[in-house]
Amino acid sequence: MIKIMIDAGHYGKRYNKGVVEGYYESEVMWKLHLLLKEALLSYGFEVLTTREDAAKNVDVYDRGIMSKGCDLFVSLHSNSVSGSPSTQRVVVIEPVNGKGQKVAKLIGDAVVKTMALKGNFYLQTTTKKTSKGKDYYGVIRGATDVGTIGLIIEHSFHSNEEACKWLLNKDNLKRLAEAEAGAIAEYFGVSKPESDEDVLKYSDLKEGTLVSIKDGAVYYNGKAIPESILKDNWYVAKKPTSDRVVIDKNESLKRSIDSAIDVKYLKLAEKKKVEEEKPAVKVEIQAEDASVETVQSSGSTALQSLLESIKKLLQAIVELFK
C-alpha cells in the first residue's frame, strides 16, 4: 500500500499571523492537513501525520525522518514577504536530487487551479541547498535521508489579502485538499475505489436485467471488447450463478452477442427514453383548383376530418373569386 506522510507546518494556534484578521498559518494549515488526510484516505492510501496535537512541536529534520518507509512527505505552509502585498504565487519546494519534480508540478498546478486568485498568480517550483549541496530545509533533508520524496507546499502568501481571505474559507480548504489528493493520486496512478453501493453482485442480476459495460472491460476469456459493444446497453441472458454473466441482446433488440463477462465490469443501466414516432402528414395544396391532395397520412380520423374541412373551405374561397 502506498504510504503518505502529511506535516502541518509550524505548531500552536497563533503562529505566523496573516494580513487578514483571524488568519494564522499554523491554525489554517492544521485544518488543511486534516482535510487532506481524509481526502487521501478516500483513495485507499495509508496516511500518517507528523503530529497528533497541534500544540506539540517537533524538530523539522525529525519530521522528515519520521517519513521513513513512506512514498511521499508533504509539509503544508503559506508564505509571507514584507513590503510586497501583491505577491501571491504558489511555491512548491522539492528536493535537490530531482526526484520530486513531477509530483511537485502536479500538486502545484492543482493548487493554482483551485485557488484561482486574481492578478499575477502562478506556480513556482524550486529547490534550495546548503553550501554542501544538501537540502536547505530540514523537513526535506530529513525525508531525503530516509529515502522519501519530501515537498514543501506554500499555499500562496498570507501577506496577501486575497489569499488570506480565500484560505480562511472552510469550503475552499476542503476543495483544496481534494485537489491536492487528486494530484497525488494521479502521480501514483491511483483511482478512488468503488463504494459498496457501486459494486454489482451476480446475485443482483436475473434474466432480462439491463446492464452497461464499464470502460476498460474485457470478455470473460480475456479478449478485448469492441468500442461499439461498450457503448451499448445489454440484457442479461439468464440468471447467473457465479461472477460469469452472459449478456446477449442489446437494448434495442437489434443485436445479439451471447458473450460472457465478469460481473465486476457491469453496472445497472437505465433504459434510454425513446420518443414515440409522431404520425407524418404531408399535404400539397394546388392553388389553380384549390384541390388538396393528401400524399401521406397516418394520423387519426380527427385529423383527416380536419383536412377535409380545410379542403372544402379553400374550394369555397376559390369559388368567390371566379
Each residue's pLDDT tens digit, 151-167: 999 999 999 999 999 99
Would the pLDDT of 305 be above 80?
no
Q: Which three cell numbers stand for residue 183?
A: 494530484
Provide the pLDDT for residue 194: 67
Lowest mean pLDDT: which of 39-48, 153-162, 244-253, 291-300? 291-300
Would the pLDDT of 289 be above 50?
no
Provide the pLDDT for residue 170: 95
Distance of alpha carbon 6 from its chain centroid, rounded? Answer: 22
Percent of all residues in the chain with a pLDDT value above 90, rounded to a whole number: 71
Q: Which three cell numbers stand for residue 318?
A: 376559390
Would the pLDDT of 296 be above 70?
no
Would the pLDDT of 189 be above 80?
yes
Q: What is the pLDDT of residues 203-226, one digit of tens each?
A: 999 999 999 998 878 899 988 899
Cα(221)–Cα(259) distance, rounded to whole angstroms? 10
Confidence of residue 195 (pLDDT cuts 50, 70, 90): low
Provide the pLDDT for residue 192: 84
Q: To 10 degrees, what angle do helices 25-41 and 170-188 make?
A: 50
Q: To 10 degrees, what angle do helices 101-115 and 170-188 make?
A: 150
Cα(192)–Cα(93) distance, rounded to whole angstroms? 27
Would the pLDDT of 23 be above 90?
yes
Would the pLDDT of 42 be above 80?
yes
CB 78 within 8 A of CB 155: yes
Would the pLDDT of 197 be above 70?
no
Cα(7)–Cα(75) distance, rounded to whole angstroms? 4
Cα(201)–Cα(263) distance, rounded to whole angstroms? 7
Mean of the per-residue pLDDT values of the chain? 88
Cα(143)–Cα(67) distance, rounded to whole angstroms? 6
If 0-12 CB within 10 Å is exposed, 13-18 middle and 19+ buried, where does residue 226 land? exposed
Cα(157)–Cα(161) distance, rounded to whole angstroms? 9
Cα(112)–Cα(122) distance, rounded to whole angstroms? 6
Q: What is the mean pLDDT of residues 9-23?
A: 92
Lowest mean pLDDT: which of 7-11, 16-20, 147-151, 281-285? 281-285
Would the pLDDT of 310 be above 60?
yes
Name the H helices within the chain: 25-41, 60-65, 101-115, 138-145, 161-167, 170-188, 227-230, 301-320
Radius of gyration of the chain from Cα atoms? Answer: 33
Q: What is the mean pLDDT of residues 231-250?
A: 94
Q: What is the pTM of this model?
A: 0.64
How do beta strands 72-79 and 3-8 pair? parallel
Provide the pLDDT for residue 276: 45
Confidence of residue 35 (pLDDT cuts 50, 70, 90): very high
